[in-house]
Amino acid sequence: MSHVVSSAAKTGADRKIALLDATAGVLAKHMPAIAAAVGLVVLWQFVVWAFKIPTFMAPSPVDVAYAFQQNAGILWTNMLPTILEAFLGFVFGNLVAILLAIWFVHSSTAEKAFYPIAVFIKAIPIIALAPILVLIFGNGLAPKIIIAGLICFFPTLVNMVQGLKSASPAMLDLMRVLSASNTEILWKVRLPSSMPFLFAALKIAATSSVMGAIVAEWIGSSFGLGALIIEATYNFRSPLLYATVVIAAVLAVVLFFIVSVVEARMIRWKPAGSH
C-alpha cells in the first residue's frame, strides 16, 4: 500500500518537474524575443528620462504602468463592449463570408454577380463607412459590430472560395465514381480541404476585428476602447492613452492566439504527397 502511495507521489513530483522543464523550454525558446522586448522598454524609459520628454507628449513605461493601476476600472468597463463588438463582428462577418463562398462555389452565376460587389464594398475606406452606419443604426453596438464584421468579411471570402476550390480534380473524380451528391462532396471533401485556407483568413480577421470595433467607436461613441482613446487624447491623458492602446493590442493578440490553438487542434493533417 505504502509502495503505491509513494509511487503516486513520485509521479506527481515527476509531473511537476516535467511541467517546470516544459516552461523552462518555452522560455528558452522565446528568450531572444523576451530579451528584445524588455530591452526596448528599458530603452524607451531611458530616452524619456534622458531627454526630459514631457509626459503628455510621450509617457515613460513607468507612467503607463501607473496609469493601468489608476484607471483599472475605466479600462475594464470600456474593454468589455469592445470585446463583445469584436467577437460578434468576427462571428457574423466570417459566417456570412463562409456561406457566400459556399454559394459562389456551387453557382458561377452567383459568383459573377456578387464578387464584384464584394470587392467594391472592400474598396470603401472603413473610416468613411463608419459615419454612414452610425447615421443608420444609431450610437449603440450595432454599427460597431457591422464594421468589425465587414473588416473580417473580405479576407475570409477570398480565402474560403480558394479553399473550397482547392480539392484536387482527382479527388472530385473519385467522388463522382462513388456517385456522391454535391452535399456529400461539400462535407466530405470541399469543406475539410478548405480548412487551412479558412484559418489563414481567420487569423487575419481575429486582429482586424478588434481594429474595426475601435475605429467604429471613434465616431460619436461614449463607450469602448475607441472612445477612451479619443477622450484620453483630447484631455492629454497620455499615460491612459498608452495603456488603452496596450490593452487593444493584447486583445488582438489573445484573439489571434485562440484561433491558432483551435487551428492546431483541428488540422493535424498535411496535404497529400507531403511528408
Using CB under 8 A as the criterion, which residues of the chain lie in contact with another protein when the complex forms? Answer: 168, 170-171, 173-181, 184, 188-189, 192-193, 195, 267-275
Nearer to another protein, 46 or 269 (CB): 269
How far apart are alpha carbons 163 and 166 in whole angstroms? 5
- Smallest distance from another protein to CB 167, Å: 9
Output 55 or 166, the one with its CB closest to another protein.
166
CB of 24 to another protein, least distance (A): 30
DSSP H/E element including 138: none
Nearest to 151 by CA among 102, 199, 216: 216
For the bound state, the minimum distance from the C-beta of residue 193 to another protein, rounded and expressed in Å, comes to 8
- Closest CB to another protein among 95 and 174? 174
Closer of 10 and 176 to another protein (Cβ): 176
Q: How far is the CB of 169 from another protein (least distance, A)?
A: 10
Identity of the residue, 61 or 192, whose beta carbon is nearer to another protein in the bound complex = 192
> Cβ of residue 13: shortest distance to another protein, in angstroms?
33
Question: Which of 101, 149, 97, 94 has the alpha carbon at shortest distance from 262?
Answer: 94
Neighbours of 46 (CB within 10 A): 11
CA distance linking residue 186 with residue 23, whole number of Å: 42
Nearest residue (CB) to another protein, 14 versus 173: 173
Closest distance of CB 272 from another protein, Å: 5
In this structure, is the dihedral angle defined by the CA atoms of residues 257, 100, 154 and 147, taken in order, positive or negative? Answer: negative
What does the radius of gyration of the chain's CA atoms come to, in whole angstroms? 25
Comparing CA positions, the residue from 142, 149, 158, 157 lying closest to residue 126 is 149
Q: How many angstroms separate the Cα of 198 from the Cα of each of 105, 195, 231, 257, 264?
A: 15, 5, 37, 15, 13
In angstroms, give the least distance from the CB of 262 to another protein.
15
Nine-digit cell at 94?
A: 466570417
Q: Give the C-alpha separation, 168 to 194, whole Å.
A: 12
Which residues have C-beta within 8 Å of that of residue 118, sequence separation ≥ 6?
A: 100, 153, 154, 157
Pick 6 or 168: Cβ nearer another protein: 168
Give the residue with the Cβ less far from another protein, 88 or 160.
160
Name the minimum Å distance from CB 182 to another protein: 11
Sign of CA dihedral 89, 90, 95, 101: positive
